[in-house]
Structure 1
């Protein structure tokens, strides 16, 4: 009997995010993989590659039919968890990089996964966005540990996209996921890269796949002074579609003497295509190879 490959899923939108749920649902429905999930318990967008360093995170085992699951948090009063059927699930209060690191270690699951998937993110991740992105960091952390990884992002547009698009996006990624797993099995998958896949808004009519160079795109950000912390809450794209009259369940404080509050605001978007990043990465790899060769020569000369 052929052993099924193991896929570990993480994200930065949180364990209950529709993108992650759709991805896991599609993966499990194929019966082609063992699926594990290790993701933040709440949204951790734009935290980049931050990690938890100065305090522990705790893993709590929970019962899920047909699966081994863990709930992981950094506080004792951890809220009840949602459950994914057919997947090994963990809910982590740390960053996406924390989740990826913990999920690929033998501290949480009994073995190392064959592949790590991070997403599906709500919003595209290209250009400079990959530096800010927690989704990309989840895949990059696996790559740092020599585990093949793919970050997945869907270009959600308010008023155009809907929840069902995440399922279509996950299905659109299956051919790439299967191709990567086949190369891993045949030991032909390149070790010095991880994949970052962006899925178009009109996913129902996508035209296939194309390998592209790294671009340069970034939101122009500014700052706006506000009068309370409630006004400073940055909403996700999906939440922005809600009725503005709906109250926000957030703890707020008013400005006291000597305090000023500010929040980020988007000024616009800049897109420029460049190839510098690709060449810089290649140059760094070549320098690493030369340094390793010198180190090996020095070791041999000392024998």
Structure 2
């Protein structure tokens, strides 16, 4: 399959996420993309929430696929992970043409710092990068009690200049091939301070464990970055029904940690009100080279 940028047809964008195909962030993004009339829109997203699954893939078992109705877009719900969805969407099995750009999101809550490693949203974009397709992951810094569902539409509209800039570079064959982009949008996205190129920081939510008596105890499960999302969807398990000596534990948040003192990191810039744009890759050559320059117990390690 050939990409459409550079031809007379509209560029094609494929959308995925980790919050599920019915998530308000994805629906707002698709609605905004379709409403511009500038793009062909494809959707290949999980059929249920897959937050914080990182880059896991389905290997031994088949995944089920169901076509769904999303106005203006060709859409499929997949039983697999975000990485599965991107891979399947790019395989040529579902869509007649390959996308020019893959967008993963809009995620409910930000994906900055070390949380990029956990993020299924980022993995959806990274999988496209693995396959040589330009990609963008989008996350909105949702704050309970402050944010509302309309903010996703504002966030999607705020991302259009980035989308158009990427498509223009793809058309001109100037888009960088060694990275994909992770974009985080601030809580007050309607009054953002502009777009800021940042680097991945070291921000992380400190997480502990608490013993519980049932799977439903505590009410909420972890989701990417804010660690607050929908209640458990698995069937309830009671500790009394477990074999002797078995116990149940659940994660709980204990505040935010990490080093936040650098001005150009993603999380700090996001909290200052900027839309952060962070280039990400998948190789560790820079870190490897830095390591090779350091002695280890008096012995230099060579590749």
TM category, shorter: 0.7 to 0.9
CA distance in 2, matches of 1:163, 1:58: 29
In structure 2, relative to structure 1, the CA distance for the partners of 1:285 and 1:109 (3 Å cut) is farther
Is structure 2 residue 109 aligned with structure 1 residue 123? yes
CA distance in 2, matches of 1:9, 1:236: 24
Q: Which residue of 2 aligns with 1:101?
A: 87
Is structure 2 residue 54 aligned with structure 1 residue 48? yes
Deviation of 1:2 after TM superposition, in Å, equals 2.5
In structure 2, relative to structure 1, the CA distance for the partners of 1:84 and 1:209 (3 Å cut) is same
Q: Which residue of 1 aligns with 2:173?
A: 187
In the TM superposition, structure 1's runs of 4+ consecutive aligned residues that sit over 3 Å from their partners are: 232-242, 247-250, 273-282, 284-287
Contact kept? 1:125, 1:133, Cα under 8 Å: yes
Structure with more helix by fraction: 1
Unmatched segments (≥5 aa) in structure 1: 61-69, 71-80, 288-303
Deviation of 1:241 after TM superposition, in Å, equals 9.3
CA distance in 1, matches of 2:31, 2:288: 37
Q: Which residue of 1 aligns with 2:157?
A: 171
Q: Which residue of 1 aligns with 2:238?
A: 254
Taking the TM superposition and a 5 Å limit, the aligned residue runs for 1:128-207 are 128-207=114-193
In structure 2, relative to structure 1, the CA distance for the partners of 1:200 and 1:179 (3 Å cut) is same
Contact kept? 1:158, 1:241, Cα under 8 Å: no
Deviation of 1:235 after TM superposition, in Å, equals 3.8
Is structure 2 residue 267 aligned with structure 1 residue 283? no
Alignment: residue pair count: 263
Contact kept? 1:105, 1:111, Cα under 8 Å: no
Contact kept? 2:17, 2:104, Cα under 8 Å: yes
Is structure 2 residue 23 aligned with structure 1 residue 23? no
The C-alpha deviation readout for 1:250-294, integer Å capped at 9, x for no partner, is 62132133321111111111131479998984626989xxxxxxx
CA distance in 2, matches of 1:20, 1:37: 9
The C-alpha deviation readout for 1:133-167, integer Å capped at 9, x for no partner, is 00000000000000000000000000000000000
Q: Which residue of 2 aligns with 1:271?
A: 258
CA distance in 2, matches of 1:240, 1:182: 37
The C-alpha deviation readout for 1:211-269, integer Å capped at 9, x for no partner, is 01211111111110000112266347899699xxxx98762132133321111111111
TM-score, normalised relative to structure 1: 0.80
Q: Which residue of 1 aligns with 2:273?
A: none
Aligned residue for 2:32, secondary structure, equals helix
CA distance in 2, matches of 1:240, 1:47: 15
CA distance in 2, matches of 1:249, 1:3: 42
Greater shift, 102-111 or 267-276, is seen at: 267-276
Contact kept? 1:232, 1:262, Cα under 8 Å: no
In structure 2, relative to structure 1, the CA distance for the partners of 1:270 and 1:236 (3 Å cut) is closer
Unmatched segments (≥5 aa) in structure 2: 1-6, 266-278, 291-303
Q: Which residue of 2 aligns with 1:215?
A: 201
The C-alpha deviation readout for 1:179-226, integer Å capped at 9, x for no partner, is 000000010000010000000000110121010121111111111000
The C-alpha deviation readout for 1:8-37, integer Å capped at 9, x for no partner, is 000000001000000000000000000000
